[in-house]
Amino acid sequence: MATTARMEQIEALLANDPGDAFLQYGLAMEHFGLGHDAAGVVVLAKLIATADPPYIPAYLMAGQALIRSGRDAEAVAMLKDGIAAAGKAGNTHALGEMQGFLATVE
């Protein structure tokens, strides 16, 4: 799988701070930019499982990548989890975005 210089920089930074949610999200975005949706979803799934507090944007991006990959049922579950997390966090903007996207895929 091809990598970019930016990916290598992010991975080096993550080696020093593996829990940095922003870096993990950035790495996933780099994967998506290269068309590596499955790899990006893996990164976001790890982020979702470990971030405290939850990194809300990860749910929407993972859901979108899952749809692109034809993994619709997983995308719906991811978006529903994201909606719950956004509601709990009081993030009404992300909540609305995920609800809107979910409505287009259900």
Count of CB atoms within 10 A of residue 67's CB?
19
Domain range holding 27?
Answer: 5-105
Q: How many domains does the chain fold into?
A: 1
pLDDT tens digits for 39-97? Answer: 999 999 999 999 999 999 999 999 999 999 999 999 999 999 999 999 999 999 999 99
pTM for this prediction: 0.92
CATH of the domain at 48: 1.25.40.10
Q: Which residues of 9-44 are buried (b: 16+ CB within 10 A; e: fewer)?
A: ebeeebeeeeebbebbbbbbbbbbeeebbebbbebb
